[in-house]
Amino acid sequence: MKYHEEFVRQEALLMLQNALEGCGGSAAASAYTEAFRLITRFGIGDKAFVVRIAAARCLKAIANIGGPGLGVAEFDSLATYCVKALEDSVTSVRDAFAEALGSLVALGMNPEAQVQPRGKGPFPPPKKLEGGLQRHLALLFTKASGSRSKEIRVGLTLSWVFFLQAIHLKYLHLDIELQSYALNIMDMLRMDTYFDAHAVACVLYILRVGVTDQMTEPCQRSFTVFLGEQLQSPEASPSMKIAALRTLSYTLKTLGEVPLEFKEAFDNTVVAAVSHSYQLVRVEAALTLRTLAEVDPTCVGSLISYGVTILNALRESVSFEKVI
């Protein structure tokens, strides 16, 4: 790692990655300690971006083999390194560390998958990374600011997706559990005092790729009801309602039908959003009604007279303003 040529340092980390993946968690504890030292001391801050990418892949490899020897403090430390790397000027570096961050947080949330290294102990018993999701993904998303805030948000968005894919595909959490994470994701928009299109777009990507696309059809049906509940919540911000409406449209298109359980709450959710005080929520509600009409025309048949009444009221309002 001290060679001047960057390809030598890159190859050294690639060999380390292969060694980690090859031995799994069966090597001696001292070997993993040295690996952590090489990655954090030399690899992450290397001046060559290819070396930094190789370091990120080593971190992901550590997460994939169960993080042998990692305690809560080590998880937090490595996650902090990854978050800092999301400010890197090179996109491929940010993407690599975003994937590593999602993998590490997913492992930290699943202590039963954490591996104890061989050798003389004692080693700390595996513990769940309490608050890790909020600390390393959600809170940093809401607090992102400055000239590189968009890059940080995009990186955290990818980390969220990698995290959700890991807990579902690798750690075999039921897809219904993804719904509980959806509330954490939407909560990142709760404190928005103004509409931030970039933040909403990031949240929509997480909800679509990380949550909806991983659900089976029965879970997607119940997810529409969950989204309806968010639309009815008085604590939901306008940005949260917009995200819920857009995700609802996507879920309905994916299903190809309007679930019966959602039809029962139709008037109190989408229809009610048409009268929301915030203009962009009303626009999104109208677009959702269009999706409903495309998926199931019978669902919105009763709204035709309602729509005509609104249009007439708007026309009369405009005419009255012209007279004044």
Residue partners of 184: CB distance under 8 A and separation at least 6: 133, 134, 138
pLDDT at 210 over 60: yes
The fraction of the chain above a pLDDT of 90, given in percent, is 70
Are 111 and 171 in contact by the 8 Å Cβ rule? The answer is no
**Residues β-bridged to residue 118:** 28
**CA-angle at 224, arms to 299 and 164, nearest 5°:** 155
Q: What does the pLDDT read at residue 113? A: 93
Concatenated DSSP letters for 43-82? Answer: ITT-SSHHHHHHHHHHHHHHHHTT-TT--HHHHHHHHHHH
- Does residue 218 have a cis bond before it (omega within 30 degrees)? no
Distance CA 139, CA 130 (A): 14
Q: What does the pLDDT read at residue 318? A: 67
Distance CA 148, CA 200 (A): 17
pLDDT at 321 over 60: no
Comparing 55-69, 163-177, 184-198, the range with the smallest average pLDDT is 184-198
pTM higher than the cut 0.85: yes
Residue partners of 153: CB distance under 8 A and separation at least 6: 141, 144, 198, 199, 202
Closest among 236, 125, 241 to 190, alpha carbons compared: 236
Per-residue pLDDT band for 170 (boundaries 50, 70, 90) equals: very high
Q: Show me where the domains of the chain are located.
A: 1-170, 174-316
Per-residue pLDDT band for 61 (boundaries 50, 70, 90) equals: very high
Q: What does the pLDDT read at residue 302? A: 64
pLDDT tens per residue across span 260-289: 989 888 888 998 898 899 999 999 999 999
pLDDT tens per residue across span 88-143: 999 999 999 999 999 999 999 999 999 887 766 667 778 888 999 999 999 999 99
Stretch 44-63: mean pLDDT, rounded?
Answer: 96
Stretch 210-225: mean pLDDT, rounded?
Answer: 96
